[in-house]
Amino acid sequence: MFAFRNAGRASSPKPLPRCPFYFESQMPSTLQKSLAVPVQALAWLGGQGTRAIATLVFLGIALPPVGELLKPFVTEAVFLLLCVSFMRVDVSALRDHLRRPGLVIAATLWTTLAVPLILGGTCLVTGLDERSPGLYLALMLQAVASPMMAAPAFAAVMGLDSTLVLVTLVTSTALIPITAPLFAYAFFGTALTLSPLGLGLKLLAILAGSLLVAGAVRWSVGASAIKRHVRPIDGLNVLILFVFVAAVMGNVVGGFLADPLGTIEQIGLAFAVFFALLGVTTLIFRKAGHRRALALGLMVSQRNMGLMLAATDGVLPGTTWLYFALSQFPIYLSPQLLKPMVRRLSGQKAAVVATESGGVRVDRAGEIAP
């Protein structure tokens, strides 16, 4: 009887290991070897960080034919970028900030409601809607867009509070299918070929679809596998981003040759809007701490215009396309431009930590706590 029991135990099926480890261990060795070189190449590309992203901008300018070829795939590229971003969401960090939602709610209302109202009102008061309808449309699409999905990564690279940026990004993005159509109805009028309802449904489909795909990937391979392959995923992100950047930047040279002064003015406007949003947001949230305020300012100034391009299927005037392209310069150059400010804040944080023995306490974001 004892032998029979042991035999039964030996013959019972063993439980399968967790999905990510099982998935990787069951992959044929030939397939693993064939994927090794591409994965290493993606890891190298992902390790280049903001240098690779900045290079994409100049490649997009230098290769207009490639941009024209990739222009029809902007929606698909934005969808894949959203999938990658949602796939990498830190759920525990998300829960942590949602337990103290005051700052997140305030930042969400500011970026989702206040920014479009202020920018839209300014455009109407100055008569930009009549003088340059294409530029007005570009500014309003920029204003109603949610922050870029890459904003938490930029904040992390700069040593700022990327978790706060991530949570505010998620909450503001969730409201976009509601707020964007309302502002489209209020400000765009007949300038937008897509109806406000159609815009909202398209945004909802893109966001919900990318969230479902990202959830399916996380479930199938596991969060731990995603964390282990962060560099190759970064490299894949850069390749997908090239499709968007090349498509948007492809008309920069043509626009400059056609109207050099106008293009230079639009570049100046793009930088002015970027730093105005950055400065005003940082000033408004300064009581939350300089580093948190700067992180929110960075997030608000980096608008996800690619999402709006995808929602409108890229059916936009040439001036709108050109402004979208030129507005990428301050976004991708900002980490380098803001380095001195972040370095100074980091120096202040180090000084506070050095005096901790004297009774000064520092919270997790590097701010002096009472």
Residue 190 is predicted with a pLDDT of 59
Residue 338 is predicted with a pLDDT of 78
d(CA 50, CA 298): 15
d(CA 234, CA 252): 26
Widest distance between CA atoms in the chain = 94
Q: Residue 91 in contact with residue 221, Cβ under 8 Å?
A: no
Q: How far is CA 355 from CA 110, 275, 348, in A?
A: 35, 33, 11
Q: Which two tokens stand for residue 23?
A: 């998935």
Residue 369, beta-bridge partner list: 361
Residue 157 is predicted with a pLDDT of 67
Q: Is 68 inside any structural domain? A: yes
- Whether pTM exceeds 0.85: no
To the nearest 10°, the Cα dihedral for 246, 84, 100, 285?
A: -10
Residue 17 is predicted with a pLDDT of 45
Q: Is 360 inside any structural domain? A: no
Containing H/E element for 369?
strand 368-369
d(CA 250, CA 350): 44
At 150-197, the pLDDT tens digits run 787 777 767 777 778 878 888 888 888 888 888 888 887 655 666 667
Residue 351 is predicted with a pLDDT of 47
Residue 314 is predicted with a pLDDT of 64
On the 0-12 / 13-18 / 19+ scale of CB atoms within 10 A, 328 is buried
Angle, alpha carbons 176-268-55 (nearest 5°): 75
Q: Residue 319 in contact with residue 132, Cβ under 8 Å?
A: yes
Q: Residue 193 in contact with residue 314, Cβ under 8 Å?
A: no
Residue 366 is predicted with a pLDDT of 40
Q: Which two tokens stand for residue 47?
A: 């390790």
Residue 279 is predicted with a pLDDT of 94
> By residue range, what is the domain housing residue 317?
49-354
Q: Is 364 inside any structural domain? A: no
On the 0-12 / 13-18 / 19+ scale of CB atoms within 10 A, 311 is buried
Q: Which two tokens stand for residue 31?
A: 């397939």
Q: Is 192 inside any structural domain? A: yes
* CATH number of 234's domain: 1.20.1530.20
SS (H, E, C) 309-351: HHHCCCCCCHHHHHHHHHCHHHHHHHHHHCHHHHHHHHHHHHH
d(CA 25, CA 113): 49
H-only helix segments in 12-100:
19-25, 29-47, 50-62, 64-70, 74-87, 91-98
Q: Is 223 inside any structural domain? A: yes
Q: Is 40 inside any structural domain? A: no
Amino acid at site 210: S
**Number of domains the chain is built from:** 1
On the 0-12 / 13-18 / 19+ scale of CB atoms within 10 A, 231 is middle
Query: What residue ranges of the chain have pLDDT lower than 70?
Result: 1-35, 49-50, 93, 157, 189-196, 313-314, 345-370
Residue 147, beta-bridge partner list: 303
Q: What percent of the chain has pLDDT over 90?
A: 17
Q: Is 16 inside any structural domain? A: no
Q: Is 239 inside any structural domain? A: yes
